Amino acid sequence: MAQIREIKKRIKAVSNIRRITNTMQMIATARFKSSLDRATATKPYTQKVRALVSELAASAGNIRHFLFDSPAPSPQRDLVLVLTSDRGLCGAYNSNVLRTATAHLRTIERQLRLEVVGKKGAIFYRFAGFEVAQQHTQFGEKPTYAAVEALAQRYMDEFKAGQYDRVSVAYMKFLSAGRQSAVVEQLLPLSAPASGPGASARSAEYDFSPDAESLLEDILPITVKTSLFQAFNDAVVSEHVSRMVAMKAATDNAGKLRKTLRRNYNRARQAQITTELNEIIGGSAALG
pLDDT digits (tens, 9 = 90+) for 94-116: 999 999 999 999 998 888 999 99
Alpha carbon dihedral 272, 277, 279, 284, in 10-degree steps, equals 170
CB 251 within 8 A of CB 36: no
196 band by pLDDT with thresholds 50, 70 and 90: very low
Q: What CATH number should be reported for the domain holding residue 124?
A: 3.40.1380.10
Please state, for a pLDDT cut of 70, what percent of the chain lies above it: 86
Q: Is residue 53 part of a domain?
A: no
3-state SS, residue 144:
coil
**Mean pLDDT value across the chain:** 85
Q: Is residue 148 part of a domain?
A: yes
Q: Which residues contact 232 (CB under 8 A, 6 or more apart)?
A: 83, 117, 139, 143, 148, 171
22 band by pLDDT with thresholds 50, 70 and 90: very high
Backbone angles phi, psi at 196, to 5 degrees: 95, -170
For residue 228, the model assigns a pLDDT of 95
For residue 260, the model assigns a pLDDT of 93
Number of domains in the chain: 1
pLDDT digits (tens, 9 = 90+) for 59-77: 666 667 677 766 555 557 8
For residue 197, the model assigns a pLDDT of 46
Q: Is residue 288 part of a domain?
A: no
Distance from C-alpha of 174 to C-alpha of 235, rounded to nearest angstrom? 7
Q: Is residue 119 part of a domain?
A: yes
**Mean pLDDT (whole number) for 24-40:** 89
Distance from C-alpha of 68 to C-alpha of 78, rounded to nearest angstrom? 16
Of the candidates 45, 58, 49, 43, which has an alpha carbon nearest to the alpha carbon of residue 203?
Answer: 58
Residue 34 DSSP code: H
CB 159 within 8 A of CB 189: yes
154 band by pLDDT with thresholds 50, 70 and 90: very high
Q: Is residue 135 part of a domain?
A: yes
3-state SS, residue 134:
strand
Q: Which amino acid, 269?
A: R
For residue 224, the model assigns a pLDDT of 92
Q: Is residue 142 part of a domain?
A: yes
CB 180 within 8 A of CB 39: no
Q: Is residue 54 part of a domain?
A: no
For residue 240, the model assigns a pLDDT of 93
For residue 246, the model assigns a pLDDT of 93
